[in-house]
Chain A
Amino acid sequence: MKKIIILILVISFAGINLGFGQGQKPSDLKFPPLKFEPPDPAVYRIQLANGLRAYIKEDRSLPLVNIAALVNFGNICVPKDRTGLGAVMGDTLIKGGTKTRDGSVIEDRIDFLGGSLSFSVEERTSTLSLFIRSQDLDEGLTLFFDVLMNPEFREDPLKLSKARLIEQLRQANDQPSTILSREYEKLLYGDMSLTWQPTKATFESVTSANLRAAHQSYFFPKNIILAASGDFNKAALTKKINAIIGSWKNTRMTFPALPQKFPELEPGVYFVQKKINQGYISLGNLGIEDTNPDYFAVQVMNFILGGGSFTSRITSKVRSDEGLAYNTGSRFTYRWGFPGTFSGYVQTKSSTAIYAISLILKEFERIRKEPVSDEEMDTALNYYLESFPDFFSSPQTTMANFATLEMQGKPMDYYKTYRDKFRSVTKEKVLEVAQKYIHPEKAAIMIVGDWEPCNQGSDKAPGPLDKLGKVHRINLRDPLTGEEIKTP
C-alpha cells in the first residue's frame, strides 16, 4: 500500500513541475500509469467448522465490524401457492425471535448498542448483515448466529408481519415504474417463480412451520458463505465463530430447477393503461447470463449503445439532442442460473412516446449494422479498465464480492483476468454481439401510460401506436386477489 502512495506523490509533483499554461486542455495532461493489482481471494478465504466458508479481512482503521452471511436461498425457491414467503421471511427472521430470544429483545439490544442487524431475501440469494462496534463484537456475533441458525418465526410477530405485507400489497399498482418492470419481466419470462406475485391469500397461507421448513432446507453451513471485515484479530474471530457453530448440522438440499426455456414472444406493443402524463417504456428481449463468454463484449456494446450514460448513443440522441426525457438508455440485467433481460428504456411525455421509441429502435438497428467508432471503443474500454479498483472500494465490499463469486461458482480468478478480458474485446466482436443479442424486429415494446395521448403521438411521430407493431392491451391485476381488473 505504501508503495502506491509514494507513486501517487511522484505523479502529482511531476504534473506540477511540467507547469501547464492557463489555457491548457485536458488532452495536454499527462498521467503516468498507475499500477493496481486486485487482491487475491485465496488470502482471505477460510474454511470454518462444518464446511462454512468465509472471506475475512482485518481492518483496524475504525473500531467497527461488518459481517454478512450470504445464503443460497431466494424468492425463486418458493412454490407458487406460497409466493411471498420470501418477503415474510425477510421481515420475520429477526422479528420472529429465536428458540431462546424474543425478536424484540434482539432488536432492542442491537439498537441499544448502536448496531444494526438486517435480513433480506432477494430474488436468488438472501443476506443477513451485522454492523457493530468492535467492543460489542462478542454479543453481536451471538445474536447474529442465533438469528441465522435458530429462528423460531413466532406466531405474534408472524401475524403482524403478514398483515403489514398485505396492507403494502395495495401499493403494487401505484408506481408506473414498478408496474413496468414487473409486467416486462412477466412478458419475457412467462409463468415462473420469478414473475409470480404474492396475493392476500398466498401471504395468509404462509405458516410458521413453512418458514421453519424453508429455513431448515436452505440455512446450513455448506449453503452459506460469510464475508467479514473490521477491527478484530482474524484467528480470534475464527475461533469464536467455530465455537458458536460447532453444533450446526448440514442437511441435503436440492435447489429447485430453474427454467431454461421461455415463451416465444409475439413482437409488438404491450400497453398498460395508467392515467399519467408520461409513457414509461421498456423495449427489448431476453438477454444473456454473465457467465456467457460474450459477456465482456456485450458490456462494451451496451455502454456505447445506452449504458454509458451521456457518452452513450441513446442518451445523447433522446435526451441531449431532443430533450425528450430525463431517464433514457439501455441495459442488460443479469441473473444467476438463467438469462437476464435486455431493454432500451425511456420515460417521456405521452405525446412523444412514439417518437422516443422510434429513436431508440433506430439506435438498435445502427449498432447492429455499423461498426462502432474507435473513439467509442476507447471511451468504453478505458472506463472499465480505469474504474476497476472500485470493486475493492472497501474491505467489506471486497469480501462480499469474493463471497458472491464463490457462491455463484464463478472462477476465483475472475477479477485477476477481468481487465484482460475487456482488453481483448474488438470492434468486430462488438458488432457480432450486437447482431446476436439485439433483435429490434422481434422486440416487445411495453408502455405504461395514458392510451389516448400516447396513441395520438406528435408531429414528428404521429400515431397510432400500431405503426410500431401489433398492439396488445394488458390489464393489471388486483394485487390483493390476483384477479384481472377489467378496464372499461
Chain B
Amino acid sequence: MKRAFLFLAVFLGLISLLATAELKLDVKEHVLPNGMKILMIEMPGVPRTVCHIYYKVGSINEYPGITGIAHVHEHMMFKGTKTIGITDYEADDALSRKINELMDKIYREKYWKADGGDKGKTAEWQKEVDGLAQQEKKYIIKDELWELYMKNGGTGLNASTSNEVTGYYVTLPSNKIELQMLLESDRMQNAYFREFYSEKDVVMEERRLSENRPGYLFDEQVNAAFYSASPYHWDVVGWMDDLKKFTEEDMRAFHDRYYVPNNAVAIYVGEINPESIISLAEKYFGRIPKGPDVEPIRTYEPEQNCEKRLYGEGPAPTSIQMMFHTPPDGHPDKAPLAVLADVLGSGGGRFFMRGGMGGGTGRLYKILVKEKELAVNVSAFSRPQWYVGLFRFSATPRIDKGVEPEVLEKEIWAEVEKIKKDGVTEEEIQKAKNRSEAMFLRSLQSSMGLAMQVGRADLNRGWKSLVTDLEDIKKVTNEDVKRVAAKYFVKDNSLTAIYTRKMGR
C-alpha cells in the first residue's frame, strides 16, 4: 500500500507540472521619455489600487561616512516639499538655512576636533538651533503627506529601504490614483529636508531598537566580516558614527543623484485602466527632467581565499551559521543553488517559503532535528543579491542534550560532502521544482506582494526575470546540484559564526 501511494505521489507530481507548464505574468509596461518606467497589472476584485514606486538606490550606494543615509533619506521623504508640509516656503527656507549653517559649525567643532571641541560654544550654538527650530514650527504642517494619503483612504502606507532598493507604498481607492502621482512626482522633484536633525534622532532610536534585539550586534559583525570589500559590508541602518555625523548637505547630494525618473519604476496593481494611468504618469512624472545616468556599484566581493570564523556570546540563543559566497542574481548557478537550499532545508530562492519555515521535509531537518535529535531548528537559505550572493545554513543546537554548535557544523559538512559526491534524489529535485512553481502562483494572489516582487525585479534584470528564473529552475539536473555544491561549499569560501548564550536565561 505504501509503495503504491508513493508511486502515485510521484506520478501526480509530474502531471501537475505539465498541466501548468505555461506560467504567465501579465504586466503592461510604459516608458516615459525621461526614462521612468510605469508597470501595470490588472487585478479585478475591489476598487482599490496598490501604488508603489521603487528607486534603484539602497545602502549599497553609500560609502563610509554616510552609511545609513539611504534609510534616513527614506524617512526625510515624508517631511514635505516646497508646497507640501509648509505654509510659507520662503520663510521656512531662510530658517532652515540658518539651522544648517549652525549645525555645520557644531559638527566641525564636535567631530572634526579630536578633543570634541569647545563644549561651551557648541552648547550655545545648539541653543540657537533649538530657538530657530521652534520658530520653524509655525510654518510646518506636520506630516501633511501622510495625512493626505490617510484621509483619502490610503492603507499599506509605508516605505522601506533595503541594500539595493527603496520603495514608497500606498494602496488607494481606484479613483484616487492621481493623488499618488501628484504627491510622488512632487517629492521626487521637490523634496525638502526640514527637521533633518531631529529625524536623525528618530533613526538613532530605530537603530537602538535593533541593538536591543538579542544577537543583533553579533549578526552585524558577522555580516561585516563576511562582506569585506563590497558595500554589503554595513547594515541598511548604518553605523552609529555616520548617523551622528552626516549632514543635510550630504542628504541633498544623495537625493539629487539617485531620485531621478530614470532611476525609478512605478507600479500599479488592482482595478485599473492602463490607458488612464499612462496619461496621468505622463502628466505628473513626465514633467520631471531626466537625470544623469546612475553608475552601478564598482566594488564586488573579492575571492576570500581563507576560512573565516567568528565567536560571540550574549543574551541570544546558542546558534551556528555557516555562510558561503555565491554568485549574484542572474548567474546560471542561481537555480541549482535554490534547489539545493530547498532540498536541504526549505527556504531559498525567490519563490520558496521565506521566513525560516524550518519545514519538516528538508533533509537537514529530518536528520538533525528528527533522527539524531541534535538540533531544535535548522535551515538552508540561498540569497542571490544584485551584486553578491550568499548561501547560509543556520542551526540551533539542543542544549538539553548538551549538543555543541561544532557538532552541528560537522553534521552539516557531512551532508554537504554527501551531496558533492552523490547529489540528491530525483524526487527531491522534483519537489523543489513543484514548490517553486506553486509558490510563484501563490505570490500572484496578493496585489501588494505582486507589486513588490515585480517592481523590485524590474530594477535589476527586468520583471520578466521572475518568469525566466522559474523556467531555469525547471531545467536543473542532479549534475548541476552536485557541481554547485562542489564549487561553493569549500572552507576557503566560508565564514562560520558560533554564538553562545551567556547572559540571562
Contact = CB atoms under 8 A, between A and B. Distances in A.
Given A4-B271, A135-B15, A394-B446, A276 B153 contact: no
Contacts of A275: 503
Given A26-B182, A32-B175, A133 B153 contact: no
A114 B175 contact: no
**Size category, A interface:** 35 or more
B142 A320 contact: yes
B315 A382 contact: no
Interface in B207-224: 208-209, 211-214
A326 interface: yes
B437 interface: yes
Interface string B136-166: 0100001100111011111101000000000
B12 A310 contact: no
Contact of A11 (B175, B183, B208): B175
B294 to A, nearest CB: 26
Nearest to A383: B150
Contact of B150 (A15, A379, A392): A379
Contacts of A16: 276, 279-280, 283
Interface in B12-49: 12-13, 15-16, 19-20, 44-48
Contact of A322 (B13, B46, B198, B503): B198
B92 to A, nearest CB: 15
Given A12-B273, A64-B441, A112 B205 contact: no
A390 interface: yes
Interface string B251-278: 0000000000000000000011100110
A273 to B, nearest CB: 11
Contacts of A278: 205, 208-209, 212
Interface of A: 1, 4-5, 7-9, 11-13, 15-16, 20, 22-26, 29, 31-32, 34, 36, 61-64, 66, 95, 103-105, 107-109, 111-116, 131, 133, 135-136, 139, 160, 163-164, 166-168, 170-171, 173-176, 275-278, 280, 308-311, 316, 319-327, 347-349, 378-379, 382-383, 385-390, 392-396, 478-480, 485
Contacts of A133: 16, 20, 438, 441
Contact of B146 (A29, A173, A311, A389): A311
Nearest to B146: A310
A115 B438 contact: yes
B317 A174 contact: yes
A64 B273 contact: no
Nearest to A112: B431
Contacts of A387: 153-155
9 contacts: A12-B178, A13-B279, A112-B13, A113-B434, A135-B19, A163-B400, A174-B317, A323-B200, A479-B505
Contacts of A478: 505
Interface in B104-152: 137, 142-143, 146-148, 150-152
A474 B209 CA distance: 22
Contacts of A13: 276, 279
A113 B45 contact: no
A14 B423 CA distance: 62
B442 interface: yes
B241 interface: no
Contacts of A163: 373, 398, 400
A166 B505 CA distance: 13
Contact of B47 (A36, A171, A383): A36
B9 A112 contact: yes
Contact of B360 (A1, A8, A107): A107
Contact of A112 (B177, B271, B316, B430): B430
B369 interface: yes
A206 B307 CA distance: 45
A311 B205 contact: no
Interface in B405-437: 427, 430-431, 434-437
Interface string B169-205: 0010111111100110000000000010011111101
Contacts of A11: 175
Contact of B48 (A31, A166, A389): A389
Contacts of A322: 198
B46 A392 contact: yes
Contacts of A61: 44
Given A107-B359, A383-B153, 16 more contacts: A8-B175, A13-B276, A15-B178, A29-B178, A32-B175, A104-B370, A109-B9, A112-B430, A112-B434, A114-B438, A168-B376, A323-B200, A383-B154, A386-B151, A392-B45, A485-B505
